[in-house]
Structure 1
Amino acid sequence: MTSLRHNPSAKPVAIDAYLDAARDCILDVGWRRTTLTEVARRAGVSRMTIYRSWPDMPQLLSDLMTREGTTIVTTSVPVAPLIDRIIGAVRAIRDNELFVRIVELDPELLLPYLLNRRGRSQDLIIELIEGAVREGQAEGTVRPGNPTAMARALVLAAHGFVISGHTMVDDEVSEDDLYDEARLLISRVLAP
């Protein structure tokens, strides 16, 4: 069996409905208690219909998180300066109910993407930042350097704000204070 990304015969509308059902399940009971059988039940299809697209929950979760991440990144702040797009994406991910639920109930699901490998959403983010860095370099608004390395460094910095930002908020430092610092950090990395 292959995941959605390797199953060209799957109908996009149906796939979205299945991913919506999986999202609803995870929001209700968390990833550990969500099964492909429950996803099929909520989607109103047979288990085999779901199994044709995903052999297991990790593959389904991977496709769900890719869809969620792609939506966030492409809609958070689509037309704005690069710094605003990065901060907008960080805020949108931090506020995303699926991401929040996973952090609350199943934070270990994030570890592979922080310790072992990049996910498709991370690659998309890197690609978008890299393109914006190249454009900025051509215009003279971004310093010279390897755009790929710069984009990856910015994603690494953003990880901290996305994953751990809430741990730095208290009576002395607000979330907005942290975003102001993130904006300063990004602007200094990019400054010509």
Structure 2
Amino acid sequence: MLDAAHAIVVERGVRGLTMADLARRAEVSRATLYRTWPNVEGVVGDLFTREFRMVMQRAMRLIGGRSARDVLVSGTVSMVGQVRRLPLLKRVVELDPDFLLPYLVNRRGRSTDEQLALLEDFVRDGQRDGSIREGDPSLLASAVLLNAYSFALTGPAFVGPDRITTLDALLTELLQDFLRP
């Protein structure tokens, strides 16, 4: 069902997704959909959570480093690059940017909570191994994620696609310096 929702949102945007269309595309009854989600917003929330969870898992498999700080920084920069390339997010930014606004300024979604929990674990690991400065792990993780969001969502508009690699190198430097003891 989420694969069908993904296809519809990439084709038409969030506003183009209806429970009726989703039921048809997924070849299930509307009753089945409503037993799983109360509305389209619930479907889209789970869809984004799934997409961001996959990005986190891919990023964590690809990274390496000598310290927890190196792993946290390289994983974060990897996630930023992958998020920029997500067809789902690109389409939502293009067609329905107002959908993202509440998650950026008013409240956190489930995927943000998962990202913060992962980053907090890395911060604690880094504080234990001496590679990350002292401080509240929750606040440090929040600062890392806020920087990641800005580099992922607005970075391309600031520097253009031809300088995105250089921007990611600057994000690496910024995070390394911020977290260094």
Identity of aligned residues (%): 39
CA distance in 2, matches of 1:75, 1:170: 25
Match of 2:111 among 114, 118, 121: 121
Match of 1:85 among 57, 60, 75: 75
What does the per-residue CA deviation read over 1:49-74, in whole Å, with 9 as the maximum and x for residues that have no partner?
Answer: 11111121111111111111111112
User: Corresponding residue for 2:67?
Assistant: none
Q: Which amino acid is the alignment partner of residue 86 of structure 2?
A: N
User: Corresponding residue for 2:178?
Assistant: 189
- The structure where helix makes up a greater share of residues is 2
Q: Which amino acid is the alignment partner of residue 131 of structure 1?
A: D
Q: Which amino acid is the alignment partner of residue 20 of structure 1?
A: D
Which structure 1 segments of 5+ residues have no match? 1-17
Superposition map of 1:141-152 within 5 A: 141-152=131-142
User: Corresponding residue for 1:158?
Assistant: 148
CA distance in 1, matches of 2:147, 2:9: 28
User: Corresponding residue for 2:169?
Assistant: 180
What does the per-residue CA deviation read over 1:3-44, in whole Å, with 9 as the maximum and x for residues that have no partner?
Answer: xxxxxxxxxxxxxxx111101111111111111111110111
What does the per-residue CA deviation read over 1:102-124, in whole Å, with 9 as the maximum and x for residues that have no partner?
Answer: 11111111111111011111111
CA distance in 2, matches of 1:113, 1:176: 26
CA distance in 2, matches of 1:25, 1:70: 20
- Which structure exhibits the higher relative contact order, with contacts defined as CA atoms closer than 8 Å and separated by 6 or more residues? 2
* Superposition TM-score, scaled by structure 1 size: 0.87
User: What is the DSSP-based 3-state SS (H/G/I as helix, E as strand, rest coil) of the residue aligned with 1:144?
Assistant: coil
Which structure 2 segments of 5+ residues have no match? 65-70
CA distance in 1, matches of 2:19, 2:116: 31
Q: Following TM superposition, where does structure 1 have runs of at least 4 consecutive aligned residues deviating by more than 3 angstroms?
A: none
Superposition map of 1:1-192 within 5 A: 18-78=1-61, 79-80=63-64, 81-170=71-160, 174-192=163-181
Q: Which amino acid is the alignment partner of residue 36 of structure 1?
A: M
CA distance in 1, matches of 2:86, 2:153: 12
Q: CA RMSD in A?
A: 1.3
After TM superposition, give the deviation of residue 170 of structure 1 in Å.
3.9
CA distance in 2, matches of 1:132, 1:77: 11
